[in-house]
Structure 1
């Protein structure tokens, strides 16, 4: 049976925040990426030792990692890394989906969850960087209203986030709810 006639199986996993204890599963996911997917994720060729070190740094430096988890394996991930050096609260984002699950909408689902999380953390903008040939990432970034430009040999996208709406004020109820009203 050719791959053109086979029907993709439905996604059966969950998209959720990865716990610190799931660092090994995240690392294994990144190491399983085929050469092209790894190049797309890291904007160039990388060694296994670089990828392992990167996964460790991500978890130890406070990155938010959202994973697509199926049968205990991380098969896709979206990362949010804070850029404290930027004037506005900015997060740099990255995505990886294993080859067998690509082109099935998983990147878009991860992107939606990542934007939701970035807003909850108070980020005002997101930065995505990719190599100019990564058409899938550029399409995905545009889908989420990224402004793309070519800079220093890379495609750089900026996504301006709408702030999370404030809670409506309730007369007589302070930060601690009813306890202050009594």
Structure 2
């Protein structure tokens, strides 16, 4: 996964328009933009917290931002070289807990097919991340007596990581907060 991957949560803008039923003039468009930004900000807080505590064998380079699109659309975007591994989890022996994973084609061992050892460990090359020691071991050479003769820098055996569910939880928070933000910004009307 050398290039950055973007994950978008969209659809909240459509729900806001349907819920408000008032998007007919410039004032309403401005209020709707405020609603969408407020809801996206809440989602961004949840996603950032989720990614910051995610356990991953390698470098967690995920960043979360709010982007504006055409037609007043607002997107919550997670970007990073390994964002999909972190969001949905990876590994053969670690069951994903993200309810969207299977529907999007992410399942235990799906990425690592043909790359794993029979024991369920697969090779990760890069800086050591925050995954528990039980899921990450250094790559080593051993002599005939089992003594370590060489430890390789930035090469790790890993069983993967659980899913962070950061964007999934952010989308739930945004849906939960939408009606309240419409009431707050439209002044209870």
TM-score by length of 1: 0.27
Query: What is the TM-score normalised by the length of structure 2?
Result: 0.27
**Which has more radius of gyration?**
2
Give the structure with the higher percent strand: 1
Task: Report which structure shows greater RCO (CA 8 Å, sep ≥6).
Answer: 2
